[in-house]
Amino acid sequence: MMASDGMLSLSWNNHKATFCHILSTLREKERYTDVTLACEGKFYPVHKLVLSTCSEYFEKMFEHTPCKHPVVVLKDIKCADMEALLSYMYDGVVSVLQQDLARLIKAAELLQIKGLAVPDEPPLKELSKKNAYPWSSRDDRSSPHPKRRRREDMMTSTSQGSSLPPPESPPSSPQHHQESNQSWDHSKSHSQDQREDGVDQRVGDPVEPAVEFSSPKQEASHNQEPVDESLVKEEVIEGSEDNQGEGMDSRIEYGGMGGGDSNTGGEEQGSKFPHQLDTKHPQPLHEAVVEALAGPSGMQGWLGTGELGGGFSMLEGYSEDGNQEVHPASTGPHGTQQSHQMVWLDYDTNMADKVGAQDSTKNVLRNEKKKTFYCPCCSYTSPKVYHFKRHYRTHTGERPFSCAHCPYHTSDKSNLIKHVRRHIS
């Protein structure tokens, strides 16, 4: 900012302070908030910009999340810590009791908050003691699969839960990634058989199952609100906005894929479903889905209840069996505390308001104790996994059931049976 040629340099003296103050004010007033963090039943409407600025984790998450106003459910993070972290992000400072420091750091690590957990920037506080996690390095994200990594990271980190840093060894999962694509297919192909392996790999990461595990604990520990964190659902705003587009995009893609299927399907008739489609669609879907859903790390889940990974299952869903709970691999042992889930809201964009307002129960699932499966692509919910899987196939375009007499193939076995009967009769 020099003024070499008659240029004048105008500086705003208190720019930083003013900016920070304004940001904080905006947060208080919930103005322009475009993402809601949910933890322990509390909702914090905040700004993606701020979160992205302070955490690559969030940055990536939003980068891959089409939703206009996503809700990120943070598990294993206490609301007190969340508030402290928000204060840290918005104001640059936060006061914390020494006794709470470790826990706060842990939370910061989970979220990869710069300055607290991520070395990116010089550690501001001593807090950074742990700072560099192995993964931080990974963060560089040069790699194409940041998400997964993140998830893993998360998982690992979380897993440690209270204690320590994750094993640095990037666990197996990474490896899986590579295979993932293919494996996916396979998995799909086997869908009927159900192998979870395949699933694990891919989905695994996202794995929420892990989440589930943890959840129970959490519940135990605190169940303040009925609202289950796991349950928050976000919707892709359907009616309302174009957003649908986003959500829908995915669908669209699926559809496309579906088309593809048909071709293949046709040929394969004989082969029965399992293999058929593997070919192409799967991947895209997955990808799309994963992206959409999982997004960055946050992921996935929706399932409610915590128990199972059901949620994830969905993802896995494609594979059909997915659910199985736990995919150990990724999930990891329980450690998992995983953390966050990104969900689609049913409500409209302004969910924030709503959420903020009341318990938001509506949108949020209330059946906390029951298992309820929420479709990440639409507002469909079902207490039956099977129904959920069946439904989810409509989004993925997967049509594992093909007619032996014609190219017809469907995602619903019942329909196939019905169809076959016509041939017979």
Partner DNA sequence: CAGCAGGGGGCGG
Partner DNA sequence: CGCCCCCTGCTGT
Interacting residues with DNA (CB under 7 A): 192, 194, 308, 310, 320-321, 323, 325, 371, 378, 380, 382, 384-387, 389-391, 394, 408, 410-415, 417-419, 422
Distance CA 188, CA 184 (A): 6
Distance CA 121, CA 407 (A): 58
Distance CA 46, CA 152 (A): 25
Shortest distance, position 217 Cβ to DNA, whole Å: 18
Distance CA 366, CA 368 (A): 5
Pick between residue 84 and residue 237 the one whose CB is nearest to DNA. 237
Q: What are phi and psi of 68, to 5 degrees?
A: -75, -40
Shortest distance, position 392 Cβ to DNA, whole Å: 8
Pick between residue 404 and residue 417 the one whose CB is nearest to DNA. 417
Pick between residue 291 and residue 412 the one whose CB is nearest to DNA. 412
Distance CA 12, CA 70 (A): 34
Pick between residue 136 and residue 411 the one whose CB is nearest to DNA. 411
Pick between residue 76 and residue 197 the one whose CB is nearest to DNA. 197
**Which of 159, 87, 101, 169 has the alpha carbon at shortest distance from 130?**
101
Shortest distance, position 424 Cβ to DNA, whole Å: 12
What is the three-class DSSP state of 343?
Answer: strand
Pick between residue 165 and residue 380 the one whose CB is nearest to DNA. 380
Tell me how crowded residue 269 is: count the other CB atoms within 10 A of its CB: 18
User: Which one-letter amino acid corresponds to residue 91?
Assistant: D
Pick between residue 107 and residue 343 the one whose CB is nearest to DNA. 343
Question: How many CA atoms lie within 13 Å of 310's alpha carbon, on the beta-carbon side?
Answer: 24
**Residue for token pair 């169940």:** 223
Distance CA 42, CA 158 (A): 20
Contact 64, 295 (CB under 8 A): yes
Shortest distance, position 282 Cβ to DNA, whole Å: 17
**Which of 2, 28, 30 has the alpha carbon at shortest distance from 352?**
30
C-alpha to C-alpha distances, 98 to 95, 268, 294, nearest whole angstrom? 9, 64, 35
Pick between residue 60 and residue 390 the one whose CB is nearest to DNA. 390
Shortest distance, position 225 Cβ to DNA, whole Å: 23
Tell me how crowded residue 162 is: count the other CB atoms within 10 A of its CB: 11
Shortest distance, position 425 Cβ to DNA, whole Å: 9
Shortest distance, position 308 Cβ to DNA, whole Å: 6
Shortest distance, position 204 Cβ to DNA, whole Å: 17
Shortest distance, position 394 Cβ to DNA, whole Å: 4
Pick between residue 133 and residue 388 the one whose CB is nearest to DNA. 388
Contact 202, 209 (CB under 8 A): no
**Which of 279, 285, 289, 316 has the alpha carbon at shortest distance from 201?**
316
